[in-house]
Structure 1
Amino acid sequence: MGQLAKSTSRARSFPVRFRYLFLLATICGGCFLILTISNTSTILFLNEETPTSSLAHHRLTSADAEETFTIKTPGCTIPGLKPFDGAIKKFIRHPDIPRCRFANTSLLDNNDTHIWIKSENIQYYDMPKDINITCCYKAFYRPTVISDITSADVDDRVQYEMCIAFDSYIEVANEFVKVTCGFDSTPIYTQYFLFAPKKPMMTFNEDATETPRNKSGYNVIVMGIDAISRLNFYRTMPKTLTYLKTKGAIELLGYNKVGDNTFPNLTPMLMGAKDTDLKRICWPHISSSFDNCPFVWELFKDAGYYTALGEDSAKLGTFNFGKIGFIGTPTDYYTRTFMHEAEVHVGNKKDYNTFICMGNKYFYQVLLDYVEAITRTLKSSKLFGFFWEVTLSHDYLNYPMIMDDSYEQFLKNLDESQYLDNTVLILLSDHGIRWGDIRYTKQGRLEERLPFVHILLPPSFRETYGVAYNNLIQNSRRLTTPFDIHATLIDLLNLDDLKDDKIEARRKTSYSQNKSISLFLPIPSNRTCNTAGIDDHWCTCHKITKLLTSSQEAQDAAEHLVKHLNMLVRDTPQCSYLSLVEILEATELVVGEPRANEKGWREIMVVVRTLPGAGVFEATLRHEDTQWALAGTVSRLNLYGSQSHCVKHYQLKLYCYCH
């Protein structure tokens, strides 16, 4: 699954007619200007210059200028990128997405407490006149008694209760509900409903309490939108972006992914570990559950927080795609049971990998409504929530445009309810789009490695933790990773450690060489991809030199890559042997000088096409002492569809062409 100046230059505007102009306030010296132009945005970039004390003197430079950079530090320089660069504009168009079934004619509606029949819409259903409709309310839930914990679908277990009939409306008393309506035992309409009732807090630690240890603690909500680069967020969701900036959200310009798809980028964020380390820590093999893994929500749970984990797709669930998920229930509020049942029974409008509609509603909207419902239910309690959208953003570059109004309204609703006054909200992605024509461009490759992150802090945080806040501003222009988000979440559990004197004391320690650094501490300006835990293949700091695809280096690297692919599938006899057909691109990464214990080496990134299946693969290979070795994992740049139907392993699906 599915699955980044020392001198001042004058900002130049695009030669088009502006519709409107928003000039946003200076935030502790971090100045942002967003020009919304016919539903698009021009971005002005900041350049690295001086320590925190001089933040107020940073100046804006135009992204049009050749010498500008996304970030520029002694350790990392990321080129300046324009959201509507000439090589990118041809891929940007408003998507034509089908509307959900019964979008305006649904037979049922609901609020937080009731479900009712919309009698005005009965006319849209093929029924005899003067027929009385009866509906069946069935609650369902995730049973605690498990008949077979070794089952591959243990995370999908479900149990339904008896039917309760109603012919007008019914009061809701459950979290997950299925309602079927009809006449004379003939069903004509079915829909699923997701609620967020107050429930007893799950506790696995006898010292845990519903009162947070730090009573001044903030709610913490992390919301992800799959597969959107930082600049594609600008292109496709300008209203949401503008609202975030208006509220003072801080954007991480140098946020670099650390793995290929969703799973290896969320495990560092949620567990502080690479996915390859999980075998040693808590996940010994692919058929193991994740119940023993050290998720950050466990720490919040022990500190007296309610916890929630919700995704808008069961099929593409982060811990279920090619994996078995959880045997126990990982959080107080967990939507997997609901989403799986809704996908199976009323999921419709399947668009490549996912159903985008749950009956008459988009699945992403179901998730947004659920998050709002939880915030209403738990307004007097503390909440840690992790929520992930995938259904509309995973497969197509432009589909997020459809969600822009909804996410903007979602933020407004949280703001108007004053929930944001006591909440740290982090809106982010895992990576940019990983396949399609845009990935064959230089900018598309960089964007895929540079997802977006916006951090919105309550006003009281800025006032109480000034040094930590200023460090976050400074770090917005440093090289950062999902490991740093994890350290930041840990810091939000211990707000005393964010007081000015504590921050000053912590910066005197040797934390600066850590792979995981809280964004409330100053990240060193000399930080490199190596010290940040980013493989060279994913690093956006390197300069590149084009090579001829006919060169010996390109040929050797490509042949080694295909050899490696065949080694990956050699123990899976149903996968075909792959042959090199074409070298599409070859570049040399200028990584820097070899480290002290290393001899000279070169790194070549190649893009190849193989047969059978016409798979397109990208990888970085290191050449040292006549030997080739892979520097990171292998990316697939085109969709594999049903080519890998014969394997279940989430990684092998990228490489296997089934006989």
Structure 2
Amino acid sequence: MLPDRFKKFTRRLVWLFIACCFICYFNLEYLTDFFGKESQVIVNRFVINTPGCRVRFLRNPKKPVPFVEPIHVLQCNRPQLIAPRHKDGNNYFVASNVEENLQCKSWLMERQDHRSNKYILEREFNLSRHGNEPIQVDSGHQMFRIQCRNDENDIKYNDVIFFMPPPCEGQKKTPSYEQRPERLSVMILGIDSMSQMHFQRSFPQLTSFLDYVPHTFFLGYSRVGMDAYDNLLPLLSGLRPDELERRCLSVNKSTYDNCGLLWDTFKTAGYSTSYGEDTAQGIFMDGKAGFQKQPTDFYLHPVMLEMDKHTRYSLDANELINCSGGRQFFDVLNYFIDKLSFYMKSAPFFSVFWHSQGVKDYYHYARRLDVDYVKRLKRLLEMDILDNTLVLLMSDYGLRSDKYRLTYNGMREESQPFLLAIYPDWLQAKYVFAMDNLKRNAHNLVTPFDLHATLNDVMDLNLLKDYHVENRTEILLGYPPKKMPRGVSLFLPLPVKRNCDSAGIPSHYCPCNDLTEIPTDDGVVLRTARFLISSINGLIAPYDKCQKLRLYKVMLAYFVDLGESSFVYELRLRVRTIPGDGLFEGTARLTDTFHLTGPITRVNEYRSQSYCVNETSSKMYCYCLN
């Protein structure tokens, strides 16, 4: 009996040992956190692991970042006295919450050009604290500025409202989905300064909602330029800003009207088009040429411009989050999208909506948007708009300033914006090869140039049929590596040997390169730092009011690992300059001389230091003379 008992006891010990191994393996990250050691399982994990690029997994902070101040709940502190209402073909001002008698003026406006509106008609009306009937105004798409004063002549209400009546049968200019069932609409929902990791930290409810819709998260999406303009322009044009400058702006009197942006192409293909941002200093406006003519069928910028000039007030001390009346600028953008949803439901559309206020300046602000975006997508789902729409929920880069940006994770996240595609079920069922490629490409380097090629395919879904995908794949594979197109449709297989150079990603933004910290007092490091400062001074030399910068200290220095087969030597530095206490980062390639591998970026705020310069590309470098 003893041997049998011993055998049973031994078997139990073996099973217990195996169970303990499984428990330890699946809780290794927790155990290593508990004992204060880094988990090798996490450290060695790659989100991209191809012959051309390996991007390491970044761990989110387990606890709240201690040095980042929480943002308090901010609400507009003035009442929303008047709201627009459309009923039976007519537009009305509907007043509420009026606590005293008011004398009001309204100005009917229309867009004049990209920097101004013109007033067409002025009218006066009174509001009573005892109640008010709706005030009828003209019908159709209209924009009004309204100002109300009390008996003491104090301004009590100052706002801009606009009307977007739902489409009438006689007004439809685009073919309906019933007429063209093969049409796929496009909606780009942009959130400024949102990295992949920050999206995961800030949008838990939206992440849960995605379980109910088909979607793909692109882990290798990368920025290709410094700001929103540099990263959105390749999506809309397929070109870098300098290429568009040569091909279009230099011959079109410096406006974007005839540059062949995607909304122009979609409009020619029979789509309705719309574009809106929650700021007047938009992607194509802040120091840019703008549009002489209205670029899309529905365009929010004239409203935001009027608010910015006449009715804006700020919620925060830094004046980065703005209100008009009782609404934040972001609420105005949401209202614009809501009203457009009736048009989206009836006919194919191409739309771009971009949100930047608050989210690009405050680390914790993004968490306040989680529910808003769930509501947005839920409404699109309930209205069946998602049944015929490709939604790109995306960003341009990660946080570029704030204290979190100064951490190692913050520095790496800056070049890894999030990109998420939501699409209807029938797209996967009907275009199997194309959608399989799209899902596989989630684990390769992806850029805005690829999105441009992808959206061009959306205009003609015949290109997504299996035999077309096979033929186009053969053509793509036939290109020599150095002649591979910079932008490749995500419905085709991206080259497995794709690297940052072939994808059009400057080395300074390349997520594939590992960084090894080196001493900041090394001689080569100091020479590189002086080269960076000299490069900055060269950029501000044309501006007499900008002071020449000097190197105060090298804060960090990294050796950029470009792979075993590379004989190129690159250093990435963070330097502090005086005057102005600026923090700048740049990557320099060392050969016989120094060469920048991308723009030098500023990673701390400069606020009013550059008040004497209007050019956006130079403001971050300039410290103005007193």
* TM-score between both structures, scaled by the size of structure 2: 0.86
Q: Counterpart in 2 of 1:265?
A: 231
Residue of 285, 290, 306 corresponding to 1:341: 306
Tell whether the 8 Å contact from 1:487 to 1:518 is kept in structure 2 after alignment: yes
String of CA shifts for 1:155-184, please: whole Å, max 9, x gaps.
323334232647421346233223334556
Tell whether the 8 Å contact from 1:195 to 1:370 is kept in structure 2 after alignment: no
Tell whether the 8 Å contact from 1:156 to 1:336 is kept in structure 2 after alignment: no
Displacement of 1:10 in angstroms is 5.5
Q: Counterpart in 2 of 1:587?
A: 558
Query: Is 2:586 aligned against 1:609?
Result: no
CA 305–644 in structure 1, closer or farther in 2 if over 3 Å, else same: same
Tell whether the 8 Å contact from 2:214 to 2:424 is kept in structure 1 after alignment: no
Equivalent positions of 1:57-68 (< 5 A) are: 65-68=42-45
Residue of 460, 464, 478 corresponding to 1:498: 464
Query: Is 2:543 aligned against 1:543?
Result: no
- How far apart in 2 are the matches of 1:286 and 1:263? 19
Residue of 364, 368, 375 corresponding to 1:402: 368
Residue of 615, 618, 621 corresponding to 1:655: 621
Query: Is 2:525 aligned against 1:554?
Result: yes
Query: Is 2:433 aligned against 1:456?
Result: no
Q: Counterpart in 1 of 2:586?
A: 619
Q: Counterpart in 1 of 2:406?
A: 440
Q: Percent identity?
A: 32
- How far apart in 1 are the matches of 2:258 and 2:588? 35
Query: Is 2:192 aligned against 1:226?
Result: yes
Query: Is 2:549 aligned against 1:575?
Result: no
String of CA shifts for 1:83-117, please: whole Å, max 9, x gaps.
2257x733566421421123xx5322344545454
Residue of 95, 107, 110 corresponding to 1:141: 110
- How far apart in 2 are the matches of 1:200 and 1:142? 23
User: For residue 321 of structure 1, what is the amino acid of its counterpart?
Assistant: D
User: For residue 530 of structure 2, what is the amino acid of its counterpart?
Assistant: E
Q: Counterpart in 2 of 1:169?
A: 134
Tell whether the 8 Å contact from 2:115 to 2:305 is kept in structure 1 after alignment: no
String of CA shifts for 1:115-174, please: whole Å, max 9, x gaps.
45454x234xxx3xxx5x56544331113xx7xxxxxxx432333423264742134623
Displacement of 1:404 in angstroms is 1.4
CA 112–89 in structure 1, closer or farther in 2 if over 3 Å, else same: farther
String of CA shifts for 1:528-557, please: whole Å, max 9, x gaps.
001101111000101222111000110111
Equivalenced residue count is 574
Q: Counterpart in 1 of 2:16?
A: none
- How far apart in 2 are the matches of 1:160 and 1:231? 48
- How far apart in 2 are the matches of 1:491 and 1:185? 61
Q: Counterpart in 2 of 1:514?
A: 485
Tell whether the 8 Å contact from 1:313 to 1:354 is kept in structure 2 after alignment: no
SS in 2 for 1:74: coil
Q: Counterpart in 2 of 1:159?
A: 119
Tell whether the 8 Å contact from 1:158 to 1:337 is kept in structure 2 after alignment: no
SS in 2 for 1:574: coil
Residue of 583, 595, 600 corresponding to 1:629: 595
Q: Counterpart in 2 of 1:210?
A: 174
- How far apart in 2 are the matches of 1:432 and 1:392? 14
CA 267–12 in structure 1, closer or farther in 2 if over 3 Å, else same: farther
Instruction: Give the RMSD, CA atoms, in angstroms.
Output: 2.7
Tell whether the 8 Å contact from 2:80 to 2:327 is kept in structure 1 after alignment: no
String of CA shifts for 1:347-399, please: whole Å, max 9, x gaps.
22254363432221121121122112112134222211011111121211211
Residue of 69, 74, 93 corresponding to 1:98: 74
Tell whether the 8 Å contact from 1:116 to 1:169 is kept in structure 2 after alignment: yes
**Which of structures 1 and 2 has the bigger CA Rg?**
2
Displacement of 1:341 in angstroms is 0.6
User: For residue 110 of structure 2, what is the amino acid of its counterpart?
Assistant: Y
Residue of 135, 156, 162 corresponding to 1:188: 156
Tell whether the 8 Å contact from 1:155 to 1:327 is kept in structure 2 after alignment: no
SS in 2 for 1:557: helix
Tell whether the 8 Å contact from 1:175 to 1:197 is kept in structure 2 after alignment: no
More helix by share: 2
- How far apart in 2 are the matches of 1:343 and 1:239? 32
User: For residue 475 of structure 2, what is the amino acid of its counterpart?
Assistant: T
* TM-score between both structures, scaled by the size of structure 1: 0.82
- How far apart in 1 are the matches of 2:26 and 2:617? 44
CA 531–417 in structure 1, closer or farther in 2 if over 3 Å, else same: same
- How far apart in 2 are the matches of 1:641 and 1:97? 23
CA 63–422 in structure 1, closer or farther in 2 if over 3 Å, else same: farther
Runs (5+) with no aligned partner, structure 1: 1-8, 17-61, 147-153, 202-207
CA 353–518 in structure 1, closer or farther in 2 if over 3 Å, else same: farther
Greater mean alpha carbon deviation, residues 277-286 or residues 233-242: 277-286
Tell whether the 8 Å contact from 2:187 to 2:391 is kept in structure 1 after alignment: yes
User: For residue 236 of structure 1, what is the amino acid of its counterpart?
Assistant: S
Equivalent positions of 1:78-477 (< 5 A) are: 78-84=55-61, 89-90=65-66, 94-102=70-78, 105-113=79-87, 115-119=92-96, 121-123=97-99, 127=100, 131=101, 133=102, 135-143=104-112, 154-163=114-123, 165=125, 167-171=132-136, 173=139, 174-182=141-149, 186=153, 187-197=155-165, 210-211=174-175, 215-284=181-250, 288-315=254-281, 317-351=282-316, 352=318, 354-477=320-443
SS in 2 for 1:510: helix
Tell whether the 8 Å contact from 2:192 to 2:356 is kept in structure 1 after alignment: yes
Runs (5+) with no aligned partner, structure 2: 1-23, 32-38, 127-131
Displacement of 1:504 in angstroms is 1.1
- How far apart in 1 are the matches of 2:416 and 2:326? 34
Tell whether the 8 Å contact from 2:214 to 2:425 is kept in structure 1 after alignment: no
SS in 2 for 1:161: strand
- How far apart in 2 are the matches of 1:468 and 1:588? 39
- How far apart in 2 are the matches of 1:424 and 1:259? 25
Tell whether the 8 Å contact from 1:314 to 1:339 is kept in structure 2 after alignment: yes
String of CA shifts for 1:563-601, please: whole Å, max 9, x gaps.
111111112111111111100011111113677xxxx43
Tell whether the 8 Å contact from 2:192 to 2:354 is kept in structure 1 after alignment: yes
String of CA shifts for 1:209-240, please: whole Å, max 9, x gaps.
73389652111111101111111111122212
- How far apart in 2 are the matches of 1:248 and 1:645? 47
Displacement of 1:200 in angstroms is 11
Tell whether the 8 Å contact from 1:224 to 1:388 is kept in structure 2 after alignment: yes
